[in-house]
A and B are shown apart, each in its own frame.
Chain A
Amino acid sequence: MQPFPITAVALCNGMGDTTAAVLAALRAGRSGLGPSPPEFELSATVGAIAGPLPPLPAALADHDTRQARIAALALSELQGPLARARARWGADRIAIVLGTSTGGIGASERAYAHAHAHAGALPPGYTVARSHALDAVLPVARALGGGLAGPAYVVSTACSSSAKVLASAQRLLQTGLCDAALVGGVDSLCALTVRGFAGLEVLSPVPCRPFSRERAGINIGEGAALLLLERTGDGPARLLAVGESSDAYHMTSPHPEGLGARLAMERALALAGLPAEVVDHVNAHGTGTRQNDAMESLAIRAVLGPAVPVVATKGYTGHMLGAAGATEVAFVVDAIEHGYLPASVGADPLDETLGVDVVTARREQRTRAALSNSFAFGGSNVSVLIGAPA
């Protein structure tokens, strides 16, 4: 596959409501996890965006959900890069490929409760097409992107959604269907995901600790990560290739030997035409469950050997589900740009039986290329290969 530069990044999540705040927390090893805000009525540790989210512009008032506001918050930071891209390529040559798992399900939770109490009547302002649907984020992104008019769609494969979008966008660029692509993921905190994972008995009551022998499960997080890919241009990193696979094993449990995870990493390298030796670190899926840590460690060792440094960042953000993949790709971009490996917050004391070199304290170290893994329900696996500028 042909590499494409990543020319801009925008982030918001439990670590902060601006890209600068999020990356400052990452560089300093400061977690964004905490007790769930009271309005969610959940007793859980989560990664929630603090404080009220700015409302949407009046023209988009019909689309006003927490999900749309999170998307708008991240888009507000990309106004300059998007204006430049529109001027350079034309708005109709800029695609939008976004990942989400939740869409506006939080709005539907309230709407359903309202209908239950009001003889089936939905609350004013709620429509399933604009409030609930996974694709409801597209008109928001088109409008706030300044009238983007290229191909636009949402990929939703649970926790691999916003890593999968990079595969789709790279193919749109390579086949000439667009010259730039706004990609990433948006997920919003809601009861359905928190209580759903509680039902699977994988929710940790305290901040998650991926790869630690003291791990106790996952936390749910929310936020957005947006990246701008362009056909040519200057950026801090490049998208080299994306490897995809399915476990073909089980709807929720990963293949115990990490077969699908291994295939995804191997395919990313094969599609880039690069040997395993170029990979200087892995941003692991690293959810904080025993099953994930065990199979992912096996897969990393099989593809890259036991010496490659492994970074797990869900101790900062929680598991952002449909926004996790793009968030972690953005963390890799920052590590490449600034020559460091972030601490895997919460990983110390390590589970030494895993046999991988998990980065527990920040290291000053260059990255030529890194793999970022995301795995999901349905056995959906993806590994994104990001490289330093050519």
Chain B
Amino acid sequence: MSELAFVLRGLGFWAPGYPTPEAWAGRPADCPEDQAAAPRAELLPPMLRRRTSLLTRMAAEVAQQAIRRGGLDPAHTAMVYGSVYGEIRTTLDLLAALLEPGAALSPTKFHNSVHNTAAGYVSISAGNRVGDAALTAGRSTLAAGLLDAAARVACEGGDAVLVIAEEPLPEPLAAGLRYGPLAAAFAVSAPGRPNMPGRPCLLVQGANDMSIRPSVPPWLADNPCAAALALIDAAMRPDAAAVALEPDRQAGWQCRLAGPA
């Protein structure tokens, strides 16, 4: 049985109407979606920000929150980005443009359609030359992202931030499936460094308790990165917890968070 330890240093969160981890943790029971809300994404200079999508702005916003709260250096943190459909709205614009035979595609939209778009903008904005990855594993993206980020700091030291971000699927590709956007970030370091504040965590595999359903509002239930919501909830509480990172499966990766020492 394989497992991997890491230290959780800081969090970031954004969903429409819930611009911080505290706002999410203190959500009302009916948890309405504020569709007019937009992430501030102040990490991105305005000249760059105006060229970016909701996905990239959400990613930049939560990345900055986690970096700041974890006390990390934005120029010297490895960045890992997880998203299932990535820059899907920009991609859809390109699919529409392709219907015109021979028309040139917008170079900006083309380079903004790649899965590592947010990675590029954030590295440019933060002056970060450490290196990054953008990944997906469908509904296991949170698990894959934590494994990748924790393995990164275990092998190479330093700090990493995992950014999970998913924007709504546009029609016609969505075929009626509707969910709201969300983004969450987790700053991680390898265990064993002296005088490092943070919460010890362990990635393990096991059977999921299918009777526990995380508290997710209906407008986020079908977001393929919704598993991140339960990890934010558990990380915002002090008590020990085991969070299913692949809650749709009978068994899978889990994150055990230590309780108070």
Is the Cβ of A177 less than 8 Å from the Cβ of B175?
A: no
Query: Which residues in B have their C-beta under 8 angstroms from that of A244?
Result: 130-133
Give A259's nearest chain B residue, CB to CB.
B129
Question: Are B116 and A108 touching (Cβ within 8 A)?
Answer: no
Is A199 engaged at the interface, CB distance under 8 Å to the other chain? Answer: yes
Binds A, one of B29-37, B65-73, B137-145, B212-220: B137-145
The reply to whether A377 and B107 contact each other, CB–CB distance below 8 Å, is: no
Question: Which single member of A108, A176, A267 contacts B95 (CB below 8 Å)?
Answer: A108
| A134 and B115 form a contact (CB under 8 A) | yes
Query: B92's closest neighbor in chain A, by CB?
Result: A112
Question: Are A251 and B120 neighbours in the complex by a CB distance under 8 Å?
Answer: yes
Residue of A nearest to B5 (CB): A175
User: A251 to B111, Cβ gap below 8 A?
Assistant: yes
Task: Name the B residues within 8 Å of A354 (CB-CB).
Answer: none
Flag whether B20 is at the interface (Cβ < 8 A). no
* Interface residue A128 (Cβ < 8 Å from any Cβ of B): yes
* Size bracket of the A interface: 35 or more
Q: Return the contact of B111 from the options A170, A178, A252, A264 (Cβ within 8 A).
A: A252
Whether A120 lies near B172 (C-beta < 8 A) is: yes
The answer, yes or no, to whether A172 is at the interface (CB within 8 Å) is yes
Shortest A99–chain B CB gap in Å is 10
Q: Which of A175, A196, A198, A264 contacts B154 (CB 8 A)?
A: A175
Across-interface contacts of A151 in B (CB, < 8 A): 143-144, 147, 253
Known contacts A152-B137, A246-B131, A377-B111, A122 near B175 by CB under 8 Å: yes
Contacts of A252 in B (CB 8 A): 107, 111
Bound form: Cα–Cα A41–B119 in Å:
33
Q: Are B98 and A191 in contact (CB under 8 A)?
A: yes
Instruction: Known A171-B151, A378-B117; judge A133-B4 contact (CB<8 A).
Output: no
> Sorted from nearest, which 3 A-B pairs have the closest CB atoms?
A378-B120, A244-B131, A156-B115
Interface of B with A (CB < 8 Å)?
Answer: 2, 4, 84-86, 91-92, 94-96, 98-99, 101, 104-107, 110-117, 119-121, 123-124, 126-138, 140-141, 143-144, 147-148, 150-152, 154-156, 169, 171-175, 253
